Chain A
Amino acid sequence: MWEVFVRARRGLSHTHVGSLHAPDAELALRNARDLYTRRQEGVSIWVVPASAITASSPDEKDAFFDPAADKVYRHPTFYEVPDGVAHL
């Protein structure tokens, strides 16, 4: 089982597009090209064996992501933004 990440021709980053079965990386790459990119030129493909990916566990969601929310000093929201500063 392989996970497939594709960066489109004008895309900035690789995006997970799906998974597929293949006996090795070389064939996974070729299968991904057929299944997910229709052999468009100028795209970049990454394939990764699913077993190589370590995912955060939903059970530990609280421990992983919550602490930031209740510590307001972690968020840079205490600055006075001068008038006239664009794009901040």
Chain B
Amino acid sequence: MIAAQRLAEWTTRAPEMEEDIALANIALDQLGAARLLLSYAGELEGAGRDEDALAYLRDDREFRNVLLVELPNGDFAVTMAKLFFLAAYQVPLYTALAGCADERLAAIGAKARKESAYHLDHGSLWVKRLGDGTEESHRRMQAAVDHVWPYTHELFVADPAAPVDPATLRQAFDDTVGPVLAEATLSRPEGGWAPGGGRAGVHTEHLSYLLAEMQVLHRAHPGAAW
């Protein structure tokens, strides 16, 4: 949901018209998956909260998204780095989810897996193009990778109680990301800084601004139908 909101900010601002459509497309895919997951979560909770209540009436401390997706879009390279890393995580995640015991989650995983494969394809194409492009695009792409990389560690924090333990996805992620970065002539950042806390509701300063914008109408007219 948060990734969709960030991508939607690009609408009419992308570097070219075709890319504008592609980013909107990916945002719509992410929003579609978010709606399915939020609706199901609302049903499981059994407290009468639907997808809209969960999207529009929670504060930042109640959001459980990883920090990676709430980071600002930055320049096009930062957005592509975020998209690429997120997709490289979501493809194995949804693939594993498609085979899990919970039928609803399996169905959502099977649907979202196809979409994520497309996101991964799109992100890796641009990472390669920018990394192996001009001197300036290489510099920006490397800066973007360096900036975003620390936030990827949070994706794989172990949670044995989850339907798919994120820790088991790390290998697939590394296998995807490594060759693309190499082909893009980019280096993988070293260093142990691994910001986290998103899953516990402890976010960067960016999320509450994002939510203020996203939720303003629903907060002003709570309960309205549209």
- Give the interface of A toward B (CB within 8 A): 20-23, 26-27, 30-31, 34-35, 39
Chain A binder among B18-26, B85-93, B104-112, B174-182 = B18-26
How near does chain A come to B59, taking the closest CB pair, in angstroms?
A: 35
Nearest B residue to A35 by beta-carbon distance?
B21
How near does chain B come to A45, taking the closest CB pair, in angstroms?
A: 14
- Distance of A22 Cα from B17 Cα, bound (Å): 10
Which of A21, A30, A34, A39 touches B125 (beta carbons < 8 Å)? A30
Which of chain A's residues have a CB closer than 8 A to the CB of B121? 30
Residues of B in contact with A, size category: 10 to 19
Which of chain B's residues have a CB closer than 8 A to the CB of A34? 18, 21-22, 25
- Distance of A23 Cα from B121 Cα, bound (Å): 16
Which of chain B's residues have a CB closer than 8 A to the CB of A20? 18
Most chain-B Cβ atoms within 10 A of its Cβ — which of A21, A27, A35?
A27
- Give the interface of B toward A (CB within 8 A): 16-18, 21-22, 25, 118, 121-122, 125, 129
How near does chain B come to A84, taking the closest CB pair, in angstroms?
A: 53
How near does chain B come to A68, taking the closest CB pair, in angstroms?
A: 41
Which of chain A's residues have a CB closer than 8 A to the CB of B125? 26-27, 30
How near does chain A come to B114, taking the closest CB pair, in angstroms?
A: 9
**Interface contact A21-B118, CB-CB below 8 Å:** no
Nearest B residue to A26 by beta-carbon distance?
B125
Which of A23, A26, A27, A39 touches B118 (beta carbons < 8 Å)? A39
How near does chain A come to B41, taking the closest CB pair, in angstroms?
A: 27
**Interface contact B22-A30, CB-CB below 8 Å:** yes
Which of chain B's residues have a CB closer than 8 A to the CB of A30? 22, 121-122, 125
- Distance of A35 Cα from B16 Cα, bound (Å): 13
Nearest B residue to A27 by beta-carbon distance?
B125
How near does chain A come to B142, taking the closest CB pair, in angstroms?
A: 20
- Distance of A30 Cα from B25 Cα, bound (Å): 12
How near does chain B come to A61, taking the closest CB pair, in angstroms?
A: 34
Nearest B residue to A33 by beta-carbon distance?
B118
Which of chain B's residues have a CB closer than 8 A to the CB of A22? 18
CB-defined A-B contacts under 8 Å, sample of 24: A20-B18, A21-B16, A21-B17, A21-B18, A22-B18, A23-B129, A26-B125, A27-B18, A27-B125, A30-B22, A30-B121, A30-B122, A30-B125, A31-B18, A31-B21, A31-B22, A34-B18, A34-B21, A34-B22, A34-B25, A35-B18, A35-B21, A39-B25, A39-B118
